Chains A and B, each alone.
Chain A
Amino acid sequence: GAGVSQTPSNKVTEKGKYVELRCDPISGHTALYWYRQSLGQGPEFLIYFQGTGAADDSGLPNDRFFAVRPEGSVSTLKIQRTERGDSAVYLCASSLDGPLDEQYFGPGTRLTVT
């Protein structure tokens, strides 16, 4: 596609529920990144994929968060037992090779946990 796309654009869920957020990177980009952005803050790194493998998952806040990229393209961020503090915009980005390359961001998914 022309750019990074993310679905859904908005997600409202109840505390304790499971959610999946999807990211479609730019075609041909081997690197994919997930960030979380709270209101008035800059994006916070969560995890970075190189191909199918997670090259760096040091930003995942706890074991309720998990992400996959099984075929090296689309990625899914999964959050179990959601908490109100998980409410944020979840941004996905992709780059051609790795973190030193230009990163192109998607529009984000706004997650609200009630």
Chain B
Amino acid sequence: KNQVEQSPQSLIILEGKNCTLQCNYTVSPFSNLRWYKQDTGRGPVSLTIMTFSENTKSNGRYTATLDADTKQSSLHITASQLSDSASYICVVSANSGNTPLVFGKGTRLSVIA
């Protein structure tokens, strides 16, 4: 069964600190992996998207890594800001035009002053 597991479920960090969120998946055959940021009461917004051949991609203070062999991805946030407080959702797409995306449950990040 295609699944995406994220850890930790929630995380609290001090403003200015770095953090890393984890994602493990069993989706096959793999097409791409995306990280989304979802603020409370809003729809998810894409941060990064990586295909099989990419093992790292950055978007400002967000850096995503992908290990397609171990089926693991991480999202590293550098110098966190209060506005980074949100849910971060890992999403994996199978290599089939009609197969829907498989969403993780997300990691709830709280950045405090």
A interface, CB within 8 angstroms of B:
4, 33, 35, 40-45, 48, 55-56, 58-59, 91, 93, 98-100, 102-108
> Which of A40, A56, A105, A106 is close to B100, meaning CB atoms less than 8 Å apart?
A56
- A105 pairs with B101, CB closer than 8 A: no
B interface, CB within 8 angstroms of A:
4, 31-32, 41-46, 49, 89, 91, 93, 97-101, 103-106, 108
Task: List chain B residues, Cβ under 8 A from A55.
Answer: 98
- A44 pairs with B97, CB closer than 8 A: no
- A43 pairs with B98, CB closer than 8 A: no
Q: Contacts A99-B93, A100-B31, A107-B43; is A42 near B103 (CB within 8 Å)?
A: yes
> Which of A44, A48, A91 is close to B43, meaning CB atoms less than 8 Å apart?
A91
Please report the C-alpha to C-alpha distance between residue A100 and residue B98 in the assembled complex, in whole angstroms: 9
Give the secondary structure class of A's interface. Answer: loop
Task: List chain B residues, Cβ under 8 A from A43.
Answer: 44, 89, 103
> Which of B31, B98, B100, B106 is close to A42, meaning CB atoms less than 8 Å apart?
B106
> Which of B32, B89, B97 is close to A98, meaning CB atoms less than 8 Å apart?
B97
Q: Contacts A42-B89, A102-B49, A103-B46; is A59 near B105 (CB within 8 Å)?
A: no
| Supplied contacts A48-B98, A98-B97, 19 more A-B pairs, CB within 8 Å | A41-B105, A41-B106, A42-B103, A43-B103, A44-B103, A45-B103, A48-B100, A55-B98, A58-B100, A91-B44, A100-B93, A100-B97, A102-B46, A103-B46, A105-B43, A106-B43, A107-B41, A108-B41, A108-B42
